[in-house]
Chain A
């Protein structure tokens, strides 16, 4: 079986500007943050991003890498809740958005996973989701009528086909089998099934035999057909939470949100945390935590 282990920067080397990428996780929960930081280190730009957004989308916006965004929401999940960099990109008119109901994101990924052009869904009808999308979002009328002879007209959610997907899971093997440990898989399997190239970072890479011992069968959400590259990235979801591996680093997330307020404070944040390798980041984060303790 193929050994799919790669480095973060090797993964980003397979990306191209202008791609449509999916980012797994949810809000500030088990986000592929190490991948996002690797994208920030690259000169990749003009991305179209599909996500249940959190600080992943915020960081990409901070570096001007997003041209278009498809999302159900953007939230940091704790105060100040609204991501400051996403907010800046929006109020500055820097990104084109296809905002949609949360359930439409799942529906669009499911359509792509099944290689269907659309799936019907009720969510979106009557709302300004129609206005956000304009002609890019159409309706479909049922060929079957109800008892009174009326046919339902529903949203035809288009497939959210992705060039690449990035997800972060707790444990995996070198071949792409991977599982989550915690209360929620989120939608990471769907992102992988909707994409051409699929990259998973994991807290730890183990032998297959150990993987299937450590995780109940139902939590093995990725198999080899769903993954092209595996990156071992302990702390790779930081500062978002990661199921049983660790909780959200609330202090650091607040620092991130505060730092976005002025050009000077952001430059200081970039200098300290985002100007080196992933190892440099993790070391700086550890030091930050120690300072907060002191």
Chain B
């Protein structure tokens, strides 16, 4: 606690709304591993850990479990070991909530980070499916999109890496852990709580209109007519974001305006 004055809550930036929205992804998560795969979700997970979710496990992104909650890019004291092979044990055990990126997401939550175009001869190669199939079928999964556009939010993804709700097999209990929790973007907060698990708006960040979202999404977004505004960060949250976790404001680089 180095600061005695409250930070200026009148100057909240878009990236700071995104940070608290990413923190809220983990509300109620309890003693599980938070696995954010980009800067904003990482700030969010650590913000949650420093406020309402102290029991979250976080790692250095490589193999060490942090005892501390260090700033972005910093090391901290550790409390345990989590090499890649043990991550797969955690995935299978379900005590994890991942926030992945996405090159494409459709209305029912199918996600692509693999490639564009035909499977055996793509037009553009990305990572391949990575851990997306295992993540989505095993434990809570959320997505972070720094530039919400109709090229990301498409009618049909080219490769289903992350499993969506329309692929859910009701007759097979092996699917019972599929849970897509939130999608946070530079424009707002969304989930798949619409009809038949369709993409639904939960809040839009201050300054964002329903029209902005509709014109940057290929499909119809449920709830846009009545959607509210993303809440204000508390003075404590702003202090933690600005002074403790991200003093260099790396968050601004990842959020399109």
Contacts and interface: CB of A to CB of B under 8 A. Distances in A.
B127 A73 contact: yes
B121 A91 contact: yes
Interface string A231-254: 000000000000000000000000
Interface string B66-93: 0000000000000001011100100110
Contacts of A266: none
A91 B128 contact: no
Contacts of A104: 133-134
A185 B131 contact: no
A122 B174 contact: yes
Interface stretch (B34-42, B163-171, B214-222): B163-171
A102 B88 contact: yes
Contact of B88 (A103, A124, A127): A103
Nearest to A95: B120
Interface string A17-37: 000000000100000000000
A184 B173 contact: no
Contacts of B84: 26, 184, 186-187
Contacts of A87: 124-125
Contact of A106 (B85, B119, B164): B85
Contacts of A183: 62-64, 81, 83
B257 interface: no
B137 interface: yes
A127 B133 contact: yes
Interface stretch (A149-157, A206-214, A267-275, A277-285): A149-157
Interface string B43-72: 000000000000000000011100000000
Contacts of A154: 174
Interface residues of B, number: 48
Nearest to B91: A103
Contacts of B174: 122, 125, 152-154
A212 B91 CA distance: 33
Contacts of B122: 90-91
A228 interface: no
B235 interface: no
Contacts, number: 148
Contacts of A101: 129-134
B162 interface: yes
A184 B169 contact: no
A126 B172 CA distance: 11
Interface string A151-176: 11110000000000000000000000
A212 to B, nearest CB: 21
Interface in A108-126: 121-126
A100 B129 contact: yes
Interface stretch (A5-13, A40-48, A128-136, A194-202): A128-136
A92 B91 CA distance: 34
B125 A131 contact: no
A55 interface: no
A126 B175 contact: yes
B141 interface: no
Contacts of A132: 119
A288 interface: no
A105 B137 CA distance: 16
Nearest to B125: A87
A102 B131 contact: yes
B115 to A, nearest CB: 7
A73 B163 CA distance: 17
A19 to B, nearest CB: 22
B114 interface: yes
A86 B132 CA distance: 20
A179 B132 CA distance: 31
Nearest to B123: A91
B161 interface: yes
B127 A131 contact: no
Contacts of B244: none
B134 A73 contact: no
Contact of B133 (A91, A97, A129): A129
Given A26-B84, A152-B173, A153-B172, A127 B121 contact: no
A96 B133 contact: no
A129 B160 CA distance: 8
Contacts of A125: 133, 137, 163, 169, 172, 174-175
A162 to B, nearest CB: 18
A128 B127 contact: no
B129 A73 contact: yes
A81 B133 contact: no
A10 B28 CA distance: 58
A183 B175 CA distance: 34
8 contacts: A106-B85, A124-B137, A132-B119, A153-B169, A153-B172, A154-B174, A184-B63, A187-B85
**Nearest 9 pairs of A and B residues by beta carbon:** A123-B134, A93-B121, A87-B125, A183-B63, A127-B133, A126-B163, A126-B167, A101-B133, A184-B83
Interface of B: 62-64, 81, 83-85, 88, 91-92, 114-115, 117, 119-134, 136-138, 159-164, 167-169, 171-175, 177-178
